[in-house]
Structure 1
Amino acid sequence: MAVDGYRADSWRDRGTRVALVDNHSFLRVGLAALLAEFDDLEVVASVGSVEELDVHPGVPPDVVVTELNFAGGITGPKAVRYLCQQGYRVLLVTAETDAERLRLGLEAGASGYLGKSGDGSLLRSCIKAAAAGDRLRSDLVVKRLSARAPSASPMLSAALVETVRLVARGMDNAAIARSRGVSVGTVKKQIQEVRRLYQRQGLDVSSRIALLDAARGLFPDEV
């Protein structure tokens, strides 16, 4: 696992390649430790700035996990836009709660954002979703952004991403509840919310079969 820079021996298919970009090294080490639990993720870079990522040769990441705001160099929406121009998917793991700044980050091209209180499983789900080209966001400020114009595809919260991923595996509500450590009632409410979001985009997933088809479209690797 990389601590700083790229791994020299990482040019091999170990699933989704991830770069961590944050000027706080202890945060990068913590994120890397969380991601080390998953065999389908490979941390190929851990650097303190966008500029450092830009000059490091080696294995290019599929997804860049970064903060929206950090000290020094290119930062904020400008950094997101630059990373996206380099062909990377960008996932914001941030303590930022200002809806306008988050909106600007998304408009700059970020795949989505996750609050720093998220656990390893949610982080993995968000990274895999970002790598697949999906958009997602944390539950933290969903209501603040919901008044904005809807996107072309449903934007799922981190919690909904995890539930939909388990639906894609063919799990029923009880199995999903056990896997996530929540009640069946919570799972039902989340699935209702997923259906509502799809309905807003003009797609009817009211039946379980239609929901399963939509879920497997988002997460084909889970089939």
Structure 2
Amino acid sequence: MGEGTWQRRVLVVEDHALMRSLVADAFGQRGFAVESAAAAHDALQLADRIDPDLLVTDIDLGSRPNGVELATILRERAPHIAVLFLSNLSRDAAAAHARETVAGASYVNKGAISSVDELVDAAEAVLADRPVTRDDARTGPRAALLRLSPAQLETTRLLAAGLTNAEIARRRGVSVRAVEKSVERVFQALGLSGGEQATTPRVALATLYVATLGDPVSGL
């Protein structure tokens, strides 16, 4: 980027480390200057330093302030900031309240997008004063992948990276049987068939993961 060129700044707030990294990387690849935080109190300190143009935050951050409260505080400090909520919660449960609290905010249900690139597209829209709502959860494996729980998503990433059940068990400090049950639930959620010969579903899962979320090996 040339000298004097303005670079848009985004603050990503997500308590799940893998999802936070994926979202931050997607914005970085689009030319944003990215800062990320796992909790609202860290995000508030970062915001004072970087003066972000855009806040992308999960609504449930596992602690208070939650994402809506964080956005409200930042809007009071900097009315210009664009806000995009990212959540597994339904619009009725979360987004309607969020939009009432933070004027002009956009809302994306994680199950309503098929890749993190679509999240960046939604952010581009809110930056252009075109708030969007994506709450009609799509069907199919890619949407199902984004609806997995954090623990299931991590298991999926490790499977996609080529780790065996025993290697995943050692890495996560659980029994092989617990991993087998988790893998079975992941296959069911994604519409893949396990069975005795699990090679084909594992290949399909790896292909799905890479197409939706990128390289699973990063960070291993």
**Structure 2 length normalisation: TM-score?**
0.52
Matched with 2:66 is 75
Distance 2:41 2:5 in 1: 26
The structural deviation recorded for 1:80 is 2.6
Contact 1:16 1:128 in 2 (8 A): no
Gaps of at least 5 residues in structure 1 are: 1-10, 142-223
1:58 equivalenced with 2:49 (yes/no): yes
Distance 1:15 1:49 in 2: 24
Distance 2:83 2:136 in 1: 19
CA 1:103–1:17: 2 relative to 1, 3 Å: same
Matched with 1:17 is 9
The structural deviation recorded for 1:76 is 4.7
Q: List aligned pairs for 1:107-186, cutoff 5 A.
A: 107-109=100-102, 111-117=105-111, 118=113, 119-140=115-136
Contact 2:98 2:105 in 1 (8 A): no
Stretches (4+) displaced over 3 A: 11-15
Contact 1:65 1:93 in 2 (8 A): yes
Matched with 1:93 is 86
Larger relative helix fraction: 2
CA 1:38–1:77: 2 relative to 1, 3 Å: closer
Contact 2:40 2:67 in 1 (8 A): no
- CA-based RMSD: 2.3
Contact 2:54 2:83 in 1 (8 A): yes
1:64 counterpart SS class: strand
1:61 counterpart SS class: coil
**Structure 1 length normalisation: TM-score?**
0.51
Flag the structure with larger Rg: 2
Gaps of at least 5 residues in structure 2 are: 138-220
* One-letter code aligned to 1:112: S
